[in-house]
Amino acid sequence: MTGPSIHANAICESRHVGGGTRIWAFAHILPGARIGADCNICDHVFIENDVIVGDRVTVKSGVQLWDGVRIEDDVFIGPNATFTNDPFPRSRRHLDAHPVTTVERNASVGANATLLPGVTVGRGAMIGAGAVVVADVPPHAIVVGNPARIRGYASGHVSVRSSVPTVEPESRVPLVGGAMLMRLRVAEDMRGRLSVAEIGNGLPFPARRLFIVHDVPSEEVRGEHAHRACHQFLVCVSGRIKVMLDDGQERAEVTLDDPALGLHVPPLVWASQYRYESNAVLLVAASERYDPDDYIRDYAEFLAIVASHGGEDVNGSPADR
């Protein structure tokens, strides 16, 4: 690969710029910055010293990357996106160390979005134009607004099944990674409706633990983890929630809005619940007692574990391997 291409009207003081990277007019890169290969640094971009930019990154015009910013491979940063690195700035006051703000691989930051100090934007996430990101963004999430809220999930480099066929009474619809959406048996008369799940007939495992999620104060994401051994069975007994399932190769989004609709989530399936209605009540049956060591809370670790269990091309991108 050839060396970097630096415009005559750019100032590049760093010696750590990868081959094939293009730095355009009026960009200014300080000596301590490290820029990967095959990047596109557009006009009027400023990059401070304690900044690391991966390979194949696009930084559009009017962006400043301040100390503490980490940009991983294949990230897109839209024009005039704003990064911050001091939670309580004062003139002529300097921090000894800046919070680390990370944008993980394959994520995109829309035009004029603002990221507060110390947040992590998960891999494959999409930050909408003008969004104000005040908290970590889950992998593949689409967030918009001020403050930014999840409004869906991006397909990234894997296929997403966002629509699930109608689930007929007492039938089952396979999703991803062995997950199953099923219609429970319902008894109905003039006194009301009764949804029934028996072990082996609706409930696919003996339940050792029950818990209820309710009074969720906002639409923020919950769950966002996988289990090593525990099976779960989710029923939204009131209101509506959305669930995104991810087996490392494929994702599926389902809506739980009927107490006769159950979702079986087996081990090694990443599950995120979001867009809770204010009156939503989620009942969860689990096959195991609570064990913090059974949880996989880091998405990168989840992908590695899936791959070690025989998954191939777990994230669909050659650049991710």
The DSSP result for 192-206, as a single string, is EEEEE-EETBEE-S-
> Would you state the pLDDT for residue 314?
38
Give the model confidence (pLDDT) of 192-224 as tens digits.
Answer: 778 877 777 778 899 999 999 988 766 666 768
Beta bridge partners of 284: 211, 234
> Would you state the pLDDT for residue 218?
63
pLDDT at 320 over 60: no
Average pLDDT over residues 125-149: 93
Q: Give the integer Cα–Cα distance in Å for 127 and 111.
A: 9
**Catalytic residue of the set 44, 214, 225, 227:** 225
Q: Which residues contact 212 (CB under 8 A, 6 or more apart)?
A: 281, 282, 283, 284
Q: Which residues contact 106 (CB under 8 A, 6 or more apart)?
A: 73, 74, 75, 123, 124, 156, 157, 317, 319, 320
Please enumerate, as own/partner, the contacts of 10-18 that have beta carbons within 8 Å and a separation of 24 or more. Answer: 14/47, 18/55
pLDDT at 20 over 80: yes
Closest of 105, 144, 104 to residue 127, by C-alpha: 144
Average pLDDT over residues 64-89: 97
More confident residue, 315 or 167: 167
225 is catalytic: yes
Class of residue 59 by CB neighbours under 10 A (exposed 0-12, middle 13-18, buried 19+) = buried
Rg (CA), the chain: 23
> Would you state the pLDDT for residue 169?
54
Residues making up the chain, counted from first to last = 321
Q: What is the pTM of this model?
A: 0.77
Average pLDDT over residues 253-278: 89
Q: What are the phi and psi torsion angles at 271 (to 5°)?
A: -125, 135
DSSP string, 20-36: T-EE-TT-EE-TT-EE-
CB atoms within 10 A of CB 95: 14
More confident residue, 189 or 271: 271
261 alpha-carbon distance from chain centroid = 26
Give the model confidence (pLDDT) of 141-198 as tens digits.
Answer: 899 999 998 888 876 433 334 344 455 555 678 888 999 888 887 777 667 778 877 7
> Would you state the pLDDT for residue 1?
63
